Amino acid sequence: MPDLSVTLCGVRLDNPVIPASGTFGYGREFAGLYDINVLGTFSFKGTTLLPRLGNPLPRIAESASGMLNAVGLQNPGVDRVIAEELPALAKVFHKPVMANVSGFSIEDYAETCRRLDACEQVGWLEVNISCPNVHGGGMSFGTDPGMAAAVTRAVKAATTKPVIMKLSPNVADIAEIARACADAGADGLSLINTLLGMRIDLKTRRPILANTTGGLSGPAIFPVALRMVWQVARAVDIPVIGMGGVSSAANVLEMMMAGATAVEVGAANLVDPFACKKIIEDLPDEMARYGIRALSEL
């Protein structure tokens, strides 16, 4: 039987398949469909220090081989996640979970991570630095090496958990951002977040999304994501989680051959809620097809 196990920042996973943040909620809905303990782990919904209602509707627009979203980080806030979502999750998921954290200031990031650090269920902190810096003119933290490093240092000082910085692809040189995070103490990196895009309604002559622009995800971005994972894996000496358009076991193997230690699956979960389960079930046959006995070999 092929060995699907991998080790991510010192924590063993039964397999490398991880539903991506924003596509799996806090796990409970999917637990009603299948036993989510088959997953390596999952990254829960992007969580902020305070509750957020998100952006106005419409928030979703379809496109060829993908979709745009401008949800706006709607979530109940970290305190309710700790008090309500994590205890409910513990009843159906018996592995460490990845906590996805967003913020609008360095202090936001650090405080949210500090509160989650006390939660035994949380195995890793995945820090989304694609958020706008409200104290810095709205520029995304992830587009400037100095700001990316500052968030990394602040979060590392606030937690004992492994810190995985989630990188934006909307930059000129993603390897430069990756090196800045690694040099600031990041334990791992995940990439890519969504690509910035938009759609226009020809009848109204207006953008479809109320936010005008949104993040493009889905199979359309897979080649871009694969290239960036390849670049970053060669630029740093810390684990990389690959994501972006992954929808099959073959895509998982490609990501790992490009340098990823584990692989997140995003938009595919919105098309088929059983997508991750099917990918895990397909991995042994796909490995056998290419003579791969253990994923750790890759």
Which position among 113, 131, 181, 276 bears the catalytic label? 131
Q: Supply the DSSP symbol for 17.
A: E
For residue 33, give the amino acid letter. L
Instruction: Judge contact between 129 and 151, C-beta under 8 A.
Output: yes
- How many alpha carbons lie under 13 Å from residue 20 in its C-beta half-sphere? 26
For residue 270, give the amino acid letter. L
Residue 9 annotated in active site: no
**CB-based contacts of 87, cutoff 8 Å, min separation 6:** none
Task: For residue 119, count CB atoms less than 10 angstroms from its CB and return exposed for 0-12, middle for 13-18, buried for 19 or more.
Answer: middle
- Name which of 118, 33, 127, 135 is nearest 79 in CA terms: 118
Question: Residue 126's Cα: distance from chain center in Å?
Answer: 7
**CB-based contacts of 67, cutoff 8 Å, min separation 6:** 60, 61, 216, 217, 218, 267, 270
Cα–Cα distances (Å) from 158 to 2, 107, 228, in that order, read 39, 10, 29
Instruction: Judge contact between 155 and 113, C-beta under 8 A.
Output: yes
Active site residues: 131
